[in-house]
């Protein structure tokens, strides 16, 4: 069935998708440029029997969604850089206790309070390493209105499937611009719910390794009593200092992702097969890159393509290697001082170029085009 | 549409509260809902929305819009001096510039020199006050001028979009203001033909 057409901002779309996939709890604290997500959730949740709480701060908001999720409700919070920093401790708690939840970070130019109403992509590494200790994390980075919808749905689904917090990275440009969105018919929506225990309360162990990589999760207030702690814990959830169990726990949490990469990873290859130049970009920056690529091909006949991670973490390493196989030049385009460039360099083991911007302005297609062409003309001059 | 690529880039500038974003939204939604086109709006997003200089960039295209900021404006309107000064840039050679001549007094001397630009000076705020006893309708007069100049959507679809966006009891007044803007622009175009 054809979907319906809407005109919405990126923030409105996140809220819309969250409701559609079954999110029934939101806790948050207002922060630009994410606040409209909270505003939309406050309007929408009571109508579907859900609950919205404006908490006293960012830390409490993160704590609240973990608690709500443990009662079986799909839960979300949204924030921006400074709030994302504050949430990190509890985000680590959610990783360690394997509680499904979705955290939206609408990136603005940082560091610190930075430029609250201007876009940036400076939180890419924070999204992976912001909380301490080795921990699994899934981070999704959509670039278009429809993709914001789809990736919000996917964030909840992955979160439920793997008992795992998922971070959705948006930015001020995507969040505030309004545009056309076709929302698919409800019948096409794939909704995944967490696995619940098949055993009774007496036999239930919340971290039972014999249940596979993702042990079923019971909901509070349904008769299952279990312990939830950020301390290293055994199958029952109670703290342990047993080093063997500690290693098993961290390994299993890592393997939840590394053994399911086919399911988790998502990326876009754009005209990479014949590309002499491969651009690697993501989120709103990749929109400028795409326009530059089209112009370079149409006007100048330069063979440029793009690799765009949609799942940013874990990074689609093998897919990048494949896309870069024939490229003579690699140009990373991002709105920060070169965070994804580090990852690309690590994966490809070769010299890369960058087009970077970290002043609150989007990178324009012309800047990227100039980079593509300036080097071309140098090469031509040598011949 | 007044450019050949099927793409319109427009910028509406004012101060927070004048309703310029609403005008842009009505056009964008007319394009999206009634003409199957793509439209994106990137408004200023800061304390401006509460009284400072504000602007919205509207892009309408038959294809998905990638870079959402305007770079070659075909239409530029300003109804406040502060916002004119701040946002008068990225102007294409064929741009039609609409200003409220009572509110935007200080213009660059060479604003049209060596270009195919057109300058419409219309006292929209005063006219809204005189005609409708309500200067908030200035934004609808501007919308009418925008419509006539750019023809980015059909007038029929523009009216449908207005119906969707404004309360029913204010519909007639809003449409009257849009019609006024259309007539003003039309007579201006005819004068140009005579010249």
Domain count, chain B: 1
The answer to whether the beta carbons of residues A127 and A312 sit under 8 Å apart is yes
Give the residues across from B132 on adjacent strands: none
Q: Can you give the residue range of the structural domain that contains B179?
A: 8-194
Q: In chain A, which segments carry CATH 3.40.50.970?
A: 4-188
| Residues of chain B neighbouring A368 (CB-CB closer than 8 A) | none
Residue B79 lies in a domain: yes
The answer to whether the beta carbons of residues A236 and A205 sit under 8 Å apart is yes
In tens, the pLDDT along A314-349 reads 999 999 999 999 999 999 999 999 999 999 999 999
In tens, the pLDDT along A279-302 reads 999 999 999 999 999 999 999 999
Residue B147 lies in a domain: yes
Closest chain B C-alpha to A176 CA, distance in angstroms: 7
* B51: number of Cβ within 10 Å: 10
In tens, the pLDDT along B117-159 reads 999 999 999 999 999 999 999 999 999 999 999 999 999 999 9
Residue B168 lies in a domain: yes
Interface of A with B (CB under 8 A): 5, 7, 32-33, 116-117, 144, 172-173, 176-180, 287-288, 290-291, 362, 364-366
pLDDT more than 90, % of chain B: 80
The answer to whether the beta carbons of residues B34 and B178 sit under 8 Å apart is no
Give the residues across from B73 on adjacent strands: B91
Burial A70-98 (b: 16+ CB within 10 A, else e): bebbbbbbbbbbbbbbbbbebbbbbbbbb
Distance from the first to the final alpha carbon of chain B: 23
Residue B2 lies in a domain: no
Residue B102 lies in a domain: yes
Q: What is the CATH number of domain A268-382?
A: 3.40.50.920
Which pLDDT does position A333 carry in this prediction? Answer: 98
> Residue B34: closest CA among chain A residues belongs to which residue?
A5
Residue B186 lies in a domain: yes
The answer to whether the beta carbons of residues B10 and B96 sit under 8 Å apart is no
Instruction: Give the pairing of strands A277-281 and A178-183.
Output: unpaired
Q: What does the pLDDT average to over B28-36?
A: 96
Q: What does the pLDDT average to over A3-13?
A: 95
Question: What does pLDDT average to over chain B?
Answer: 91
| Residues of chain A neighbouring B25 (CB-CB closer than 8 A) | 7, 178
Instruction: Measure CB to CB from residue A291 to each of B25, B32, B67 and give the nearest one.
Output: B67
Q: Where are the beta strands (DSSP E) in chain A?
A: 4-9, 23-28, 51-54, 74-79, 101-109, 115-119, 138-140, 165-171, 178-183, 267-270, 277-281, 304-309, 311-313, 329-334, 353-356
Cβ pair B42:A116 closer than 8 A: no
**A149: pLDDT strictly greater than 90:** yes
In tens, the pLDDT along B59-77 reads 999 999 999 999 999 999 9
* CATH number for B149: 3.40.920.10
Which pLDDT does position A308 carry in this prediction? Answer: 98
Which fold would CATH assign to domain A4-188?
Rossmann fold (3.40.50)
Which pLDDT does position B48 carry in this prediction? Answer: 56
């Amino acid at each position: 069935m054809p979907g319906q057409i809407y005109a919405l901002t990126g923030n409105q779309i996140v809220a819309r998708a969250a409701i559609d996939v079954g999110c029934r709890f939101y806790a948050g604290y207002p922060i630009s440029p994410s606040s409209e997500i909270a505003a939309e959730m406050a309007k929408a949740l009571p109508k579907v029997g859900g609950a919205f709480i404006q908490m006293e701060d960012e830390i409490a908001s993160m704590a609240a969604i973990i608690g709500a999720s443990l009662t079986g409700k799909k839960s979300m919070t949204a924030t921006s850089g400074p709030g994302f920093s504050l949430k990190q401790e509890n985000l680590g708690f959610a990783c360690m206790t394997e509680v499904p939840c979705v955290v939206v970070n609408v990136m603005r130019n940082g560091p610190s309070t930075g430029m609250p109403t201007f876009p940036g992509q400076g939180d890419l590494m924070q999204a992976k390493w912001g909380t301490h200790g080795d921990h699994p994390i899934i981070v999704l980075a959509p670039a278009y209105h429809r993709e914001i919808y789809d990736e919000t749905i996917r964030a909840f689904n992955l979160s439920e499937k793997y008992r795992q917090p998922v971070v959705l990275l948006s930015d001020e440009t995507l969040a505030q611009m309004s545009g056309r969105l076709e929302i698919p018919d409800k019948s096409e929506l794939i909704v995944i719910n967490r696995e619940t225990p098949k055993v009774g309360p007496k036999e239930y162990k919340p971290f039972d390794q014999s249940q596979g990589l993702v042990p079923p999760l019971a909901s509070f207030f349904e008769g299952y009593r279990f312990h939830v702690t950020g301390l290293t814990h055994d199958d029952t959830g109670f703290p342990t200092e047993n080093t063997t169990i500690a290693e098993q726990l961290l390994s299993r949490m890592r393997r939840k992702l590394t053994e399911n990469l086919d399911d988790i990873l998502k990326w876009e290859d754009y005209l990479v097969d014949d590309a002499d130049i491969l651009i690697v970009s993501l989120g709103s920056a990749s929109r400028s890159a795409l326009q530059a690529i089209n112009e370079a091909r149409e006007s100048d006949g330069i063979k440029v393509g793009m690799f765009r991670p949609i799942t940013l973490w874990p990074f689609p390493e093998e897919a990048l290697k494949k896309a870069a196989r024939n490229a003579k030049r690699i140009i990373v385009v991002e709105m920060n001082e070169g965070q994804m460039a580090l990852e690309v360099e690590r994966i490809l083991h070769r010299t890369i170029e960058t087009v970077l911007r970290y002043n609150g302005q989007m990178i324009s297609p012309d800047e990227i085009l100039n980079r593509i062409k300036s080097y071309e003309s140098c090469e031509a001059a040598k011949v | 549409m007044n450019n050949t690529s099927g793409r319109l880039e427009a910028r509406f500038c004012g101060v927070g509260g004048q309703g310029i974003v609403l005008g842009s939204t009505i056009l964008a939604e007319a394009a999206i809902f009634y003409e199957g086109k793509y439209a994106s709006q990137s408004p200023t997003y800061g304390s401006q929305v509460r009284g400072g200089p504000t602007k919205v960039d509207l892009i309408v295209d038959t294809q998905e819009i990638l870079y959402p900021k305007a770079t070659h404006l075909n239409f530029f309107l300003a109804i406040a001096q502060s916002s004119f000064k701040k946002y008068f840039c990225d102007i294409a050679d064929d741009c039609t510039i609409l200003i409220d001549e009572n509110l935007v007094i200080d213009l660059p001397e060479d604003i049209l020199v060596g270009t195919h630009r057109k300058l419409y000076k219309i006292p929209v705020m005063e006219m809204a006050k005189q005609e409708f006893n309500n200067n908030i309708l200035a934004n609808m007069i501007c919308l009418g001028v925008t419509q006539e100049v750019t023809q980015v959507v059909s007038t029929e679809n523009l009216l449908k979009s207005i119906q969707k966006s404004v309360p029913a009891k204010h519909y007639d007044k809003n449409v009257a203001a849009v019609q006024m803007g259309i007539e003003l622009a039309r007579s201006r175009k005819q004068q140009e033909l005579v010249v």
